[in-house]
C-alpha cells in the first residue's frame, strides 16, 4: 500500500470557477446509514465527502469534478439533490 493520497493537493492543480453562493449538490445530513456513507466517502474521485469524529457528514462542493458517481451510487440516500453547477461555474478542464 502506498502513502495516503492527498487529493486536495491534486485538485489544486485544476481550474475551478467557484459558485460563491450555492452548492450544486445537496447532501442529506440526517442520513444515518454509516455503511452507505462510507461507500460514498470512498467512491468520490475528488474525496469531497468526509465524516468527522462526531460522525457528522460533510460535503465540500468546491473541488467537485461533476462526474456523477455519488449520484449513481447514492441519490435518494446520502445525496438529496444532484445537479450540475450553473453555466460557466464549476470545474473547467484545460486539458481534459
Tell me which residue of 31, 94, 18, 32 sits closest to 61, measured CA to CA.
18
What whole-number distance in Å separates Cα of residue 67 and Cα of residue 86?
15
Give the per-residue contact string, 15-54, with other proteins (x = CB under 8 A; - = no): x-x---------------------x-xxxxxxx-------
**Of residues 18 and 32, the one with the C-beta less far from other proteins:** 18
Which residues contact residue 38 at a Cβ distance below 8 angstroms, ignoring those fewer than 6 apart? 51
Task: Please state the closest distance from residue 71 (CB atom) to other proteins, in A.
Answer: 7
Set of cell numbers at residue 55: 460522525
Q: What residue ranges bind other proteins (CB under 8 A)?
A: 1-5, 7, 10-15, 17, 39, 41-47, 65-69, 71-73, 75, 83-88, 90-96
Amino acid at each position: 500500500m502506498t502513502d495516503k493520497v492527498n487529493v486536495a493537493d491534486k485538485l489544486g492543480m485544476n481550474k475551478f470557477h467557484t459558485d460563491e453562493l450555492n452548492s450544486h449538490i445537496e447532501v442529506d445530513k440526517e442520513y444515518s446509514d454509516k455503511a452507505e456513507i462510507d461507500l460514498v466517502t470512498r467512491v468520490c474521485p475528488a474525496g469531497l465527502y468526509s465524516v468527522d469524529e462526531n460522525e457528522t457528514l460533510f460535503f465540500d462542493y468546491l473541488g467537485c469534478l461533476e462526474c456523477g458517481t455519488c449520484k449513481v451510487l447514492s441519490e435518494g440516500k446520502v445525496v438529496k439533490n444532484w445537479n450540475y453547477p450553473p453555466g460557466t461555474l464549476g470545474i473547467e478542464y484545460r486539458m481534459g
